[in-house]
Amino acid sequence: MTRWWWVLALLAIGVARCECVDDGAREPIRFATFNIEDFPKDERQVDGAFAEIRALGASFVAVQEIGDPGLFAREATARLGPRWQLVSIDARPIGETRPGYHIGVLFDGARWAYAGMRTHDGTRVNLRLMPTLEVRLRQGDRFVRVLVVHFKSGTEGRSSRVLQFAALREIVREVQKSREPVVVLGDFNATEEGDRDDLAALAKVAKLSWATEPLACSAFWRRQDGCPRSRLDHVLMWAPPIDVHAAGACATDGCEWQASCPLYARAISDHCPVVVDVE
C-alpha cells in the first residue's frame, strides 16, 4: 500500500511539472530590431555587435545592413550558441550586381522553430528599393509572423517612403488574413513628421500597437556640427508592449544632442537595438 502512495505522489509531482511547463510556454516574449551598420566593418564591430545581441536577452532579432550573411550566421552560432539560426534575403534592387545588404531574422532555435518565410516585393517600389521579409516562427502552439523592413533613407527619400508605407499596408493586410500575431519592425528611416504620421496611420488601419511611439531616440546622426539623435527604428505589433527601450549607447549616452557621437556609433553601429517585451 505504501508503494502505491509513493506512485501517486510521483504522478502528482509529474502533473504539477507538466502544468508548470505549459505555463512557462506563455511567458512574455522578448525580441528586438537592430540595424548593424555595414556589417561586417571589422573584427571590433563583430565583437561589439554580438556582445550587444547577447546582452539583449531577446529570443529573436530582426537585423538590417548585413553585408555577409554567411559570416553573420557563423558568428551567431559560435558566439550565441549552436541553436541560433539566421533567415535572411538579399535586399538589393532587382538586377543590382554590386555588393549590398541582406535583411533577416536571427532567432534562438531552443525557443522558436522555423515555420516558413516569404519575400514581399511591394516595398521595393519599381524594383529599386528593399523588399519586406516575412518569417513565421512557432513556439509550441503559438505562432508569430515577423515582417522586417528597411525603408529608403533621408529627407530626400520621403517621397519613396510614402509609397513604401502604402505597399506595407497591403502586405500587412494580406499577412493578417492568417489570424496569427503579426509584428512589423526594422529601420523605417522615419526622419520626418510625415513618417510618424504614416506609422500612426498604419497602426490604426491594421489595429496594431505602435510600441516605439514614445521612444526618444534609436540612432545617431554623425554631422560636422554635432551628433543629434533620430527615431528611425520602429516596432508595430499585435498587442501593447510590457516594456520597450533602446539599448546600446542610446541607453548609456542618452538622447540629447552632443558635440560628438559616442565611440559606439563608430565602432558598432549608428543605430541602437530596440527591445520589446510582450505577453
* Confidence at 264, pLDDT banded by 50, 70, 90: very high
What would the pLDDT profile of 109-128 be if each residue is shown by its tens digit?
999 999 999 999 999 998 99
End-to-end CA distance of the chain: 45
Residue 8 placed within a domain = no
pLDDT value at 12 more than 70 = no
- Average the pLDDT over 228-246 and give the result: 98
- The number of distinct structural domains making up the chain is 1
What would the pLDDT profile of 180-209 be if each residue is shown by its tens digit?
999 999 999 999 999 999 999 999 999 999
Residue 3 placed within a domain = no
* Confidence at 13, pLDDT banded by 50, 70, 90: very low
pLDDT of residue 243: 98
Residue 78 placed within a domain = yes
- Average the pLDDT over 4-27 and give the result: 44
Residue 221 placed within a domain = yes
pLDDT value at 8 more than 60 = no
Task: Round the average pLDDT of the chain to a whole number and report it.
Answer: 93
Residue 53 placed within a domain = yes
* Per-residue burial over 128-152, b = 16 or more CB atoms within 10 Å of its CB, e = otherwise: ebbbbbbbbbebeeebbbbbbbbbb
* Confidence at 27, pLDDT banded by 50, 70, 90: confident
Residue 165 placed within a domain = yes
pLDDT of residue 126: 86
Note down the domain range covering 114: 26-278
* Per-residue burial over 199-212, b = 16 or more CB atoms within 10 Å of its CB, e = otherwise: beebbeebebbbbb
**CATH no. for residue 164?**
3.60.10.10
What would the pLDDT profile of 48-86 be if each residue is shown by its tens digit?
999 999 999 999 999 999 999 999 999 999 999 999 999
Q: Which of 16-30, 40-54, 163-177, 197-211 has the lowest mean pLDDT?
A: 16-30
* Confidence at 14, pLDDT banded by 50, 70, 90: very low
Residue 105 placed within a domain = yes
What would the pLDDT profile of 138-166 be if each residue is shown by its tens digit?
999 999 999 999 999 999 999 999 999 99
Model pTM score: 0.90
Give every CB contact of residue 191 below 8 A, 6+ residues apart in sequence.
153, 154, 155, 158, 230, 232
Residue 2 placed within a domain = no
pLDDT of residue 61: 99
Nearest to 29 by CA among 185, 187, 142, 179: 142
